[in-house]
Amino acid sequence: MSDSAFDFDLAVLRKSFSIPVLVDFWAPWCAPCRALTPVLETLAARMAGRFELVKLNTEEYPEIGQQYGVRGIPNVKLFVDGAVADEFAGALPESAVEAWLQRALPSPYRGQLKLAEGLIGAGRSAEAEPLLRQILDAEPGNARAAVLLAHWLLKTAAPETALAVIKHIGPDSDQHDSAEALRTLGRQFELLDHPDRLEESPVKPEYLDAIRNIQAENYEQALEQLIELVRKARGYDGGGARKACVAIFRLLGDGHELTRRYRGQLSNALYV
């Protein structure tokens, strides 16, 4: 799309809710801008359907450039759902721009992912499972879909089945904390089938009962038990009670009422 006579709100912000919009902030006098233009146009054609390219002449629309912090050109910003999701500055070679796009562009299956998240939030995880599997069949590296599916499988399948789904998620992923939480709980759920792996101790029955409560999603009761175990035997199972608490907090999120209530209690139990 050319940059003459257009409505930025309509052409970029509102449009970005249906397809990512790549805005090239440029000016006619800028030689690097002229070098970057054919690169962006080639990639827009090659990746048709993944994003829409909009060129914005900062000489004609300086106020828009100022609003979005453009201090030098070329400056390329990717808009997703009405906001800047990522950007780069300078005239990069085609291979570098393509690699950046592959990282920055949201999954083409994000609509299906949002639908799956909505079903899970409504307590209809069984209906979300086939959607998540379809996403992962088409896009095996989709970490969010993998985490959601693994969480469901921890309730319905053997722990090793769930853990296999997230084995590829490493520290560089934004889903790493969630994956680590599921790995912690998956290993603990395995103890329910193999209690002999735990050392004998007066706290062993209570520890296993707390794990059962986690598995049943009785998180409040589990946290009460686990924090008491931290007070009595914090080193049992390699600090398993503390690790389980942290895993629950990560799954529930920082804003959850149980996380806010029990995180301080865990800290007190650890440092008294």
Q: Average pLDDT in the 191-200 region?
A: 95
Residue 1 has pLDDT above 60, yes or no: no
Structure confidence at residue 206 (pLDDT): 97
- The DSSP letter of residue 200 is P
Residue 2 has pLDDT above 80, yes or no: no
Catalytic residues: 30, 33
Instruction: Render pLDDT for 234-261 as a digit per residue (tens, 0 to 9).
Output: 999 999 999 999 999 999 999 999 999 9
**Calpha distance 233→243 (Å, rounded):** 13
Query: Model pTM?
Result: 0.72
Residue 3 has pLDDT above 60, yes or no: no
Side chain identity at residue 138, one-letter code: A
Side chain identity at residue 16, one-letter code: S
CB 189 within 8 A of CB 247: no
Give the pLDDT band of residue 5 (cuts 50, 70, 90): low
**Calpha distance 211→105 (Å, rounded):** 39
Report which secondary-structure segment, H or E, holds 55. Answer: strand 52-57
Q: Average pLDDT in the 64-79 region?
A: 95
Residue 4 has pLDDT above 80, yes or no: no
The structural domains of the chain, with segments of one domain joined by +, span: 8-104, 198-272
Assign a CATH topology to domain 8-104: Glutaredoxin (3.40.30)
Report which secondary-structure segment, H or E, holds 24. Answer: strand 21-26
Report which secondary-structure segment, H or E, holds 89. Answer: strand 83-89
Instruction: Render pLDDT for 26-40 as a digit per residue (tens, 0 to 9).
Output: 999 999 999 999 999
Side chain identity at residue 174, one-letter code: D
Give the pLDDT band of residue 13 (cuts 50, 70, 90): very high
**Among 9, 28, 12, 32, CA closest to 20:** 12
Task: Provide the percentage of residues in the chain whose pLDDT is more than 90.
Answer: 90
